[in-house]
Structure 1
Amino acid sequence: MRWEPAPCIITDMKAYVGVTDSSWYEFLAARPELDEINFWRPSAKTAFRVLRPGEPFYFKSHHPHNQLIGGAVYAGFARLRVSEAWEIYAEGNGQPSLDAMRERIGGYRGDPIAEDDPVIGCVLLHSPRFLPQGTHFGPPPEFAPSIVQGKGYDLEPGPHTEFFLRFADVLFGAGGNVNVEADTRTWHRPGRMFGEPAPRPRRLGQSAFKGVVLDAYDGRCAVTGSRVRPTLQAAHIRPVTSEGEHRLDNGILFRSDVHTLFDRGYLGIDADYRVVVSGRLSTEFGESAEFEELNGKPIGLPERRVDRPGHDFLDWHRAHVFRP
């Protein structure tokens, strides 16, 4: 997997240094094929809002080692149940199994996880890089031993800029470039949609997309209101195979059967965020009262207006997918 640099923009750019333990770092460093990872937190009490998608998130070892050991590109934040984080990221959580992950979280909480499925905070990252074992860089500037989770840094020209530029050069290669969108309004995972054929192209950014859509819709199907989370799926309004993007305003959370009908054009969403049911549904399949009752019903929406389905994407779906 190749790192594809873009022009590095220092103005108004931030970085974050998160504290990690050796087991998480060593597990992921040994698996360079993992392109998307989850820097999870055992609690979801506070959201992570320090960075914009595309800005650098660096990893630091605990004191007394206190060195930078790697980094990745920030993709987004989501509150997910442990089982959901495992389903989406699997070994990208830095653990070999769901049971091991639950045990690790229970250890941090000081209370073993029994049969429940607690919600954790998930800092979603992509394109991770780790320094070779035995390589040291640091310590980070002004990083007090009392800091438990991490510290944010302003990368505008100032006292810390040169330090992080040098580390980015070491970690990511010449230039240390990352791709940052200026004034990102809604969640948007920049960069390529697909990796190298192997033998089918590998979709990039899909894990973070699932996580942020599930979080934005509060784990509820936008059409049916179902909260049965194992049946919920993050749908692209305009698919990435049709030049769509991993954007929150290009996504909706659907129950799996609603997702299928939407993708095949039997359901649509109008400009006022109401469900539109195609007449072909009953014509082609007969009894469809359950879905006919949804016609004209307003869908559930994310709290922030900028995160709601974009009208350009909805227009595209009605023009190219919906069956009138």
Structure 2
Amino acid sequence: MLAYVGVTDFAWYELLARRRGLDEVNFWQPGGNRVFGALEPGGLFLFKLHAPHNAIVGGGFFAHATLLPVGLAWDAFREANGVESLAEMRERIGKYRRVEVEDRKNFTIGCILLEQPFFLNQSQWIPAPSDWARNIVQGKRYDLSIGEGALLFERLKFALGLAGGSEGWPDQWRESTAPRYGAPTTVLPRLGQGSFRVLVTDAYGRRCAATGERVLPVLEAAHIRPFSEGGEHRVDNGVLLRSDLHTLFDRGYLTVSDQARIEVSHRIREDFENGRNYYALHGSVLRLPEDPNLHPNDRFLRWHAENVYLG
């Protein structure tokens, strides 16, 4: 199993470590020039503080990396960005970019979405690996089965109270089939709400699946089966829709057949004596993600048609 040790600042760590019950964080990078690609989904991402601390203080499980407008990153993750406001986030980005940041400019940043984050108390902090060079700015990848990576993994297990074996390990870790290494294999992490929104947005090419609309502020990730009704934050349980279509979908005024065709309820006309623009969508086919594994799940579509759609 590979792990990545990413460099962050104390303020980011301190704010998030105080918050209980976080199921996701956004480890953002101010440059916004390239997409992080050092891990596969489920890989372990560890947080290392800048000097003078030079310690590993927590981590999470990698779900997705992308470039986002700062406004969308804030809307999706709020304080899970490690800041208390959008204004503070802009200020931090300006500090790292060494520029004055315009209050209204929706510039792009790099976003590394991490699930099931954990944070170590100061007494549990782990020293940086001995091969960590001072000139490393962003981070470094380690193989947890050999050398410094294996030592780091043993120290991490001890810090988390997991040194006795795999019992109690996070769901993302499983015992390796090669016991002499002791490093875990990975499974895909469970997504939080913000990560669900971003992954669905990217899966659909940042376009409304029904209309092709590209204006990001009006696009929303709709759950096919709502989380409150036993649905999950999974891309195949989502569809990217313009905000008004999302509302109609949630309230049963439209649905999607298992052939990915839009069906518009007669109730729009009956309830509102209008709806011509929406009826124009009836029978049209959704624009689906390129990856078939991310298409809406037929089981979830049937649930929506049977339990939400007004007919």
What TM-score range do you get, normalising by the shorter chain? Answer: 0.7 to 0.9
| TM-score normalized by the length of structure 1 | 0.80
Aligned to 2:114: 125
Amino acid at match of 2:90: R
Task: Decide whether aligned partners of structure 1 residues 309 and 45 sit closer, same or farther in structure 2, where only a CA change above 3 A counts.
Answer: farther
Residue 149 (structure 1) shift: 1.4
| 1:216-235 alignment runs, 5 A limit | 216-235=203-222
Residue 162 (structure 1) shift: 4.3
Equivalent of 1:163, from 152, 155, 159?
A: 152
| TM-score normalized by the length of structure 2 | 0.83
Residue 123 (structure 1) shift: 1.2
Distance 1:169 1:306 in 2: 38
| 1:156-235 alignment runs, 5 A limit | 157-159=145-147, 160-171=149-160, 173=162, 175=166, 177-180=169-172, 189-190=189-190, 205-235=192-222
Secondary structure of the residue aligned to 2:126 is coil
Secondary structure of the residue aligned to 1:122 is strand
Can you give the 5+ residue segments of structure 1 that lack an aligned partner in the other structure? 1-12, 191-203
Task: Decide whether aligned partners of structure 1 residues 189 and 294 sit closer, same or farther in structure 2, where only a CA change above 3 A counts.
Answer: farther
Residue 82 (structure 1) shift: 0.9
Distance 1:96 1:125 in 2: 18
Can you give the 5+ residue segments of structure 2 that lack an aligned partner in the other structure? 174-184
Aligned to 1:265: 252
Task: Decide whether aligned partners of structure 1 residues 220 and 310 sit closer, same or farther in structure 2, where only a CA change above 3 A counts.
Answer: same
Distance 1:113 1:75 in 2: 29
For the Cα contact (< 8 Å) 2:115–2:189, is it kept in 1? no
Task: Decide whether aligned partners of structure 1 residues 177 and 14 sit closer, same or farther in structure 2, where only a CA change above 3 A counts.
Answer: farther
| 1:294-313 alignment runs, 5 A limit | 294-313=281-300
Secondary structure of the residue aligned to 1:127 is strand
Task: Decide whether aligned partners of structure 1 residues 179 and 322 sit closer, same or farther in structure 2, where only a CA change above 3 A counts.
Answer: same
Amino acid at match of 1:149: Q
Secondary structure of the residue aligned to 2:252 is coil
For the Cα contact (< 8 Å) 1:55–1:178, is it kept in 2? no
Task: Please tell me whether residue 255 in structure 1 is matched to residue 242 in structure 2.
Answer: yes
Secondary structure of the residue aligned to 2:113 is strand
Deviations 1:120-160 (A, max 9, x none): 121122333322236541222533333221222233x4332
For the Cα contact (< 8 Å) 2:74–2:81, is it kept in 1? yes
Residue 248 (structure 1) shift: 1.1
Task: Decide whether aligned partners of structure 1 residues 275 and 172 sit closer, same or farther in structure 2, where only a CA change above 3 A counts.
Answer: farther
Deviations 1:169-202 (A, max 9, x none): 3136555722238786xxx642xxxxxxxxxxxx
Moved more, 15-24 or 105-114: 105-114
Equivalent of 1:314, from 294, 301, 304?
A: 301
Aligned to 1:198: none
Equivalent of 1:59, from 35, 47, 61?
A: 47
Aligned to 1:142: 131
Amino acid at match of 2:195: A
Instruction: Give every structure 1 segment of 4 or more consecutive aligned residues whose post-TM-superposition deviation is greater than 4 Å.
Output: 172-176, 181-184
User: Aligned-pair RMSD on alpha carbons?
Assistant: 2.7
Count of equivalent residues: 295
Secondary structure of the residue aligned to 1:86 is helix
Task: Please tell me whether residue 102 in structure 1 is matched to residue 94 in structure 2.
Answer: no
Aligned to 1:75: 63
Residue 260 (structure 1) shift: 1.7
Aligned to 1:196: none
Distance 1:214 1:172 in 2: 37
Aligned to 1:151: 140
Identity %: 46
For the Cα contact (< 8 Å) 2:172–2:186, is it kept in 1? no
Task: Decide whether aligned partners of structure 1 residues 122 and 320 sit closer, same or farther in structure 2, where only a CA change above 3 A counts.
Answer: same
Task: Decide whether aligned partners of structure 1 residues 135 and 154 sit closer, same or farther in structure 2, where only a CA change above 3 A counts.
Answer: closer
Aligned to 1:195: none
Distance 1:172 1:261 in 2: 48
Deviations 1:30-74 (A, max 9, x none): 334544321101133322343344432111122564321222233
For the Cα contact (< 8 Å) 2:61–2:172, is it kept in 1? no
For the Cα contact (< 8 Å) 1:222–1:301, is it kept in 2? yes
Deviations 1:244-278 (A, max 9, x none): 21111211111222112112222122233232222
